[in-house]
């Protein structure tokens, strides 16, 4: 992919629900909360939302509910009616659902950006949602396994697939149990001040290393949880004084569904391909990033992500993490939200939440942040490069108003 001239895409607003076992909240409750929060935060009117991109992996299995596009559209219509002090509105933005397993969220962000950059729309909403805890954990595991190759990986689980990658990484690079545990410890520490995080609990290296084995060598505290949650962002090609981030570029990489078809078992080719595309698209290097939100569905996944993104040499990410070089306060902070491990992983929401979290917390004008979202065991990977922009929280200018003023 070569870099092309295209309209800039700005994150005007964001909303994240609390992640966790939200037994008192339905799929639609979670969607509604995230959508309403993001639109309110963006200071755009609901009627200015021209299209909606819904990210979801498995509501059809978890909740027997598909066709989420119109559901989201109806929610924006409700907000438009309320804003207009009316019971009815005709503002039902066109909406579509995007699915890419755990990368659904980032793929929906990409689809939204492409629509904006093609100048089909100028302001859109992206919402990611997953309601996973209405079924037993065993059933949830089975549903998630649908993202693996059901013909060639029979009997596999996601912990099992990542366990094989961990085993290979440990054998090739000498990655240690303690280094894997340090990822979990760090991310749980980072989640302590994230109000949306599923867990607000510290763990020690010893606690992680002695937790129950799930699939050798991965243990319970190496694994991200099953979560309910939703996140939403408002994107626009028209910046406002309340804009939080500018999206500089993105990349989408793919690989075989099954591990057996991969060129490597110690790296994810999809991430490497997505990284190259994203850097070319943005004209910036990921090495300049200060905050990086990566897909730590398992501790080994974070280490591989740092290496595949070029932030660490192959085999070095474990020691860097153990030495605190990716912790809050370091030059490169990895998973400041707590990542999937501690913040939670409602799969369809995760990619959207990564960007929404940065919109809320990454307040460094001109600085670079990166998100990395993976589907399956690495069959899909999406990388975004984002830039912090000057924000004036007191301003409530509308996108169109701001655009007119600037012109």
Partner 1 sequence: MNVITPVQYWRANKEWAPWLGKRGRVVASTLIRVAEGPFSAWAPYSLVLVEFAHGERREFMGVGHDVCEPGEKVECVLRRLDTTDAREVIPYGLKVQKYQKQSEIPATPENPASSEIPESPASSASPASSESSESTDAAASTDHLRTR
- What minimum distance in Å lies between the beta carbon of 379 and partner 1? 14
Q: How far is CA 287 from the centre of its chain?
A: 20
- What minimum distance in Å lies between the beta carbon of 310 and partner 1? 24
182 binds partner 1 (CB under 8 A): no
64 binds partner 1 (CB under 8 A): no
- Altogether, the residues listed in the chain come to a count of 407
Active site residues: 102, 345
Tell me the sheet residues that pair with 386.
247, 369
Identified binder of partner 1 from the candidate list 214, 243, 312, 356, rule CB under 8 A: 214
Q: How far apart are CA 220 and CA 227, in angstroms?
A: 15
Nearer to partner 1, 173 or 362 (CB): 173
- What minimum distance in Å lies between the beta carbon of 147 and partner 1? 12
Q: How far apart are CA 201 and CA 374, in angstroms?
A: 25
154 binds partner 1 (CB under 8 A): yes
Q: How far apart are CA 294 and CA 276, in angstroms?
A: 16
Nearer to partner 1, 154 or 331 (CB): 154
The alpha-helical segments, DSSP class H, found in 50-146 are 59-62, 68-83, 104-117, 137-144
- What minimum distance in Å lies between the beta carbon of 264 and partner 1? 11
- What minimum distance in Å lies between the beta carbon of 263 and partner 1? 11
Two structure tokens written together for 157? 């689980």
Residue 123 phi/psi, 5-degree rounding, is: -145, 125
Identified binder of partner 1 from the candidate list 80, 129, 259, 340, rule CB under 8 A: 259
Stretch binding partner 1 (CB under 8 A), from 111-119, 232-240, 256-264, 279-287 = 256-264
313 binds partner 1 (CB under 8 A): no
For residues 113 to 152, the per-residue mask of contacts with partner 1, x marking binding by CB under 8 A and - elsewhere, is: -------------------------xx-xx--x-----xx
174 binds partner 1 (CB under 8 A): no
Q: How far is CA 131 from the centre of its chain?
A: 16
Identified binder of partner 1 from the candidate list 4, 5, 90, 155, rule CB under 8 A: 155
Nearer to partner 1, 34 or 164 (CB): 164
Q: How far apart are CA 2 and CA 249, in angstroms?
A: 11
Q: Which of 317, 311, 320 is nearest to 370 (CA)?
A: 311
Do you find a cis peptide bond into 280, omega within 30 degrees of 0? no
163 binds partner 1 (CB under 8 A): yes
For the beta carbon of residue 177, count every other beta carbon within 10 angstroms.
17
164 binds partner 1 (CB under 8 A): yes
379 binds partner 1 (CB under 8 A): no
- Whether 299 contacts 291, CB under 8 Å: no
Element (H, E) at 270: helix 269-282
Chain residues that interact with partner 1, rule: CB under 8 A = 138-139, 141-142, 145, 151-157, 159-161, 163-165, 167-168, 171, 212-218, 258-261, 265
């Amino acid at each position: 992919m070569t870099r092309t001239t295209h309209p800039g895409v700005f994150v005007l607003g964001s909303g994240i629900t609390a992640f966790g076992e939200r037994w008192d909240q339905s799929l639609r409750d979670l969607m509604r909360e995230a959508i309403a929060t993001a639109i309110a935060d963006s200071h755009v009117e609901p009627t200015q939302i021209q299209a909606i991109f819904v990210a979801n992996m498995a509501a059809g299995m978890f909740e027997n509910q598909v066709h989420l596009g119109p559901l989201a559209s109806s929610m924006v219509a409700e907000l438009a009616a309320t804003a207009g002090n009316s019971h009815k509105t005709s503002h039902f933005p066109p909406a579509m659902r995007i699915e890419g397993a755990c990368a659904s969220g980032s793929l929906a962000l990409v689809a939204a950006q492409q629509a904006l950059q093609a100048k089909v729309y100028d302001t859109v909403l992206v919402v990611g949602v997953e309601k996973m805890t209405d079924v037993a954990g065993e059933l949830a595991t089975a549903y998630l396994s649908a993202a693996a190759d059901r013909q060639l990986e029979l009997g596999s689980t996601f912990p099992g697939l990542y366990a094989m990658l961990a085993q290979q990484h440990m054998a090739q690079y000498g990655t240690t149990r303690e280094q894997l545990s340090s990822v979990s410890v760090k991310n749980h520490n980072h989640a302590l001040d994230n109000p949306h995080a599923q867990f607000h609990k510290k763990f020690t290296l010893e606690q992680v290393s002695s937790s129950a084995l799930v699939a050798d060598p991965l243990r319970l505290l190496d694994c991200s949880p099953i979560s309910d949650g939703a996140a939403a962002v408002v994107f626009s090609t028209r910046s406002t004084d309340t804009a939080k981030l500018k999206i500089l570029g993105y990349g989408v990489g793919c690989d075989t569904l099954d591990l057996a078809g991969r060129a490597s078992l110690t790296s994810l080719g999809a991430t490497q391909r997505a990284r190259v595309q994203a850097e070319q698209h943005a004209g910036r290097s990921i090495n300049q990033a200060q905050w990086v939100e990566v897909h730590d569905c398992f501790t080994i996944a974070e280490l591989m992500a740092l290496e595949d993104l070029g932030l660490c040499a192959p085999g070095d990410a474990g020691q860097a993490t153990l030495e605190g070089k990716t912790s809050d306060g370091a030059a490169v902070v990895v998973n400041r939200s707590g990542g999937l491990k501690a913040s939670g992983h409602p799969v369809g929401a995760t990619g959207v939440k990564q960007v929404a979290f940065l919109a809320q917390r990454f307040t460094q004008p001109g600085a670079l942040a990166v998100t990395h979202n993976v589907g399956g065991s690495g069959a899909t990977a999406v990388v975004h490069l984002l830039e912090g922009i000057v924000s004036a929280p007191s301003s409530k200018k509308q996108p169109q108003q701001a655009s007119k003023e600037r012109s």
